[in-house]
Amino acid sequence: MSVTDGFDVTAHLDGVLLGRIQSGDQSALSGLYDSRSRLIYSIVLNIVHNTEDAEEVTQAVFMRIWAKAQSFDPQRGSVLVWIVTIARRLAIDRTRSKHHRIQKFSDRLESVSQQDLVQPGSENVHNQVIQSILVDRALKRLNKLNSEQREIIELSYYCGFSQTEIAQKIATPLGTVKSRLRAAVTRLRDIMGNGE
pLDDT (tens digit, 9 = 90+) per residue, 20-49? 999 999 999 999 999 999 999 999 998 888
| Domain stops at, among 99, 127, 142 | 99
Could you tell me if 160 and 186 lie in one domain? yes
pLDDT confidence band for 62 (50 / 70 / 90): very high
Which CATH number fits the domain that encloses residue 66?
1.10.1740.10
* pLDDT for res 76: 86
With respect to residue 39, please indicate whether it lies within any of the assigned structural domains.
yes
Could you tell me if 15 and 42 lie in one domain? yes
* Nearest alpha carbon to residue 34 among 4, 10, 57: 10
* pLDDT for res 153: 77
Q: Is the dihedral of CA 150, 156, 100, 137 positive or negative?
A: negative
Which CATH number fits the domain that encloses residue 188?
1.10.10.10
* Helix, coil or strand: residue 146: coil
Range of 10's domain?
3-99
CB 79 within 8 A of CB 31: no
Could you tell me if 66 and 7 lie in one domain? yes
What is the Cα–Cα distance from 158 to 152, expressed in whole angstroms? Answer: 10
- pLDDT tens, 97-152? 765 555 555 555 555 444 444 444 444 555 445 444 444 555 566 777 787 887 88
- Chain Cα centroid distance, residue 12: 33
CB 18 within 8 A of CB 79: yes
CB 161 within 8 A of CB 152: no
- Above 80 in pLDDT, residue 89? yes
